[in-house]
Structure 1
Amino acid sequence: MSNTGLIIEERSRDIGDFLVGRLIPFRKKRTIGPFIFIDHMVPTALGPETYMDVDQHPHIGLATLTYMLSGELMHADSMGTVQRIRPGSVNWMVAGKGVSHTERTPKDLRNGHRFLAHGYQIWVALPKELEGIPPEFHHIPAQALPQWKEDGASFTLVAGEGYGKTSPVPVHSPLFMVEVKTTKEFYLNTKDHLKGEIGICVVEGSLQACGQPVKKGHIAVSKVSDTCETVVAPNSHLLLFGGAPLPEPRHIYWNFVSHDKEIIEKAKRDWANKTFPMMEGDSSYVPLPGS
């Protein structure tokens, strides 16, 4: 990274039965490109009695990207979607003007056995003119994502554009999310292949950027054009996030994102009054914070 870059350490957050490591928003860096929220679902042993159950909750003004590294989740939403997500596949939910959803451990995995759940929950802010579009849901299986190898590293383009390739995830602004796994020391070249801001998240292993160490659980942030020599240690696992920042600042309240605070206020009233789009056949409900 450049000397003006920033290294952010995961901060632990308790979201009920799950402990997550929050990467952004951070007080010194609210967004990375259009990425406005990145939570690391740290490796957690589930079963035989504890499972993941995120009850019905709302979103507006963003797209959510769920990427599992191990374990499985069942997504259901107010559009009627029911979709299982397995490691390496992508669940891309465009909230737009409003959607509610749940994420739970699939019923067939509640069989008394223990398994590891590990992944990332990511929010991407929508461009201002698209914040109010109807909600959408897309599932992209792992084998549909562009994958390639270089000497000492394997790459997967999870979303957006980079390295001359395009992911099938239907994003709404210039961005990238790239997974990198190394088998030996690897010189990572992002300057010639990616554009905009970049966050290099160390899932496992470590790297050196401008001679400065970046450890597991940290994310190094800069502009791609400022990125200097990045040397990745053997047997490391990285996620690269970034792209072009949106021109207007975004407000965040709970699960609501918008350029306009009044839009968020309306969403708060609608959720509190249960006039927000709700799921059929699921009476679970996460109250508005403070209510």
Structure 2
Amino acid sequence: MLNIQLIIEERPSDIGNFMVGRLLPFREKRMVGPFSFIDHMGPVAMNDHNNLDIPPHPHIGLSTLTYLFEGNIMHKDGLGTQIEIKPGQVNWMTAGKGIAHSERTPDYLRNTDKVLHGLQIWVALPKHLEQMEPEFFHADVDQIPAWEENGVRYKLIAGEVMGHQSPIPVYSPLYFLELKTSAQQTIKIGDKLFGESAIYILEGAVESDGNKFEPKQLLVAKESSLCEFTMHAHTTIYIFGGEPFPEERFIYWNFVASTRELIEAAKERWLAQDYPPVPRETEFVPLPPQSKNIK
């Protein structure tokens, strides 16, 4: 039995000129371990007149993780980073006390037809590191641990679990796993997981105790032990989780913090344009109304 506490359906959310499927936060489950925000982007087909254009915007108190299945994104940030994110690579930006970044279709693709599909994730920082200096890390495809076990192909995108460790510099105990099957397989890895856990079904289906679960569903476990479940043939899922923090986290717009005071200070800094600028970017995104406050 899968031991499911909650089933969360993707909800459409507008992030500017782009619609995504939002999974976390959810009113009944704000976080899973340190994971505070998960968006499923696409797949979205864009023609030569449509591009991803997310202007510079700020973050505090978290690390962002971008993982693409299809398409390309040009990432620029206030550290001076300028790097193209390609499918299978991991883009990991740690905001700490504050950073701004932009995400756009690369110049060489802007006048072409293209598809964008992937996951964008926020991982909250532990309280003692909320105000750390911003950092950036990028991992190529061949740096991500990958292995096969009992007919299931695994990738450990971030964290440490099942005797493997990703090179991504995470700041609390967590895991973000990809599982793929060609044929139907029974999965028994619950005893290797810890903290809080959830499964996101990208394609195919998962079955447990006579119940079938399909794409665009997030299954939150009651306990870290996911027990036993069956992946249908040609299924891809993501298992993520880890140790939850003892303190509550507040979210406003792109800010995550353990106190409202930190968020208020971040808002004032943004209005004063007191974040290191993103090179070759001039747009300014105003603060959203209070109604955008998630928690």
Match of 1:246 in 2: 245
- Per mean C-alpha deviation after superposition, the further-off stretch among 145-154 and 119-128 is 145-154
> How much does 1:99 deviate?
0.2
Matched residues in 2 for 1:92 and 1:290: separation? 28
* Native 8 Å contact 1:56 1:284 kept in 2: yes
Structure 1: give runs of 5+ residues left out of the alignment. Answer: none
- CA deviation digits over 1:4-28, x for unaligned, max 9? 5111110111112211111010011
Match of 2:13 in 1: 13
Query: CA 1:242–1:3 in structure 2 vs 1: closer, same or farther (change >3 Å)?
Result: closer
How many equivalent pairs are there? Answer: 290
Describe the SS at the equivalent of 1:201. strand
Describe the SS at the equivalent of 2:261. helix
Which structure 2 residues correspond to residues 161-176 of structure 1 after superposition, within 5 A?
A: 161-176=160-175
Matched residues in 2 for 1:51 and 1:21: separation? 18
> How much does 1:227 deviate?
2.1
> How much does 1:125 deviate?
0.3
- Per mean C-alpha deviation after superposition, the further-off stretch among 5-14 and 272-281 is 272-281
- With the length of structure 2 as denominator, give the TM-score of the two structures: 0.95
Which structure 2 residues correspond to residues 276-291 of structure 1 after superposition, within 5 A?
A: 276-290=275-289
Matched residues in 1 for 2:227 and 2:243: separation? 19
Describe the SS at the equivalent of 1:192. helix
Describe the SS at the equivalent of 2:191. coil
- CA deviation digits over 1:63-120, x for unaligned, max 9? 0000001001010000000011110110000000000000011111123x31211001
Q: CA RMSD in A?
A: 1.4
* Native 8 Å contact 2:2 2:228 kept in 1: no
The alignment status of 1:48 with 2:60, answered yes or no, reads no
Q: What amino acid maps onto 1:123 in structure 2?
A: W
Match of 1:120 in 2: 119
> How much does 1:225 deviate?
4.1
> How much does 1:211 deviate?
2.7
* Native 8 Å contact 2:39 2:119 kept in 1: yes
Which structure 2 residues correspond to residues 25-44 of structure 1 after superposition, within 5 A?
A: 25-44=25-44
Matched residues in 1 for 2:79 and 2:241: separation? 29
Q: What amino acid maps onto 2:204 in structure 1?
A: G
Q: What amino acid maps onto 2:36 in structure 1?
A: I
Matched residues in 2 for 1:46 and 1:87: separation? 17
* Native 8 Å contact 1:76 1:101 kept in 2: yes
Describe the SS at the equivalent of 1:247. coil
* Native 8 Å contact 2:197 2:224 kept in 1: no
Q: What amino acid maps onto 1:55 in structure 2?
A: P
Q: What amino acid maps onto 1:264 in structure 2?
A: I
Describe the SS at the equivalent of 2:192. coil
Match of 2:154 in 1: 155
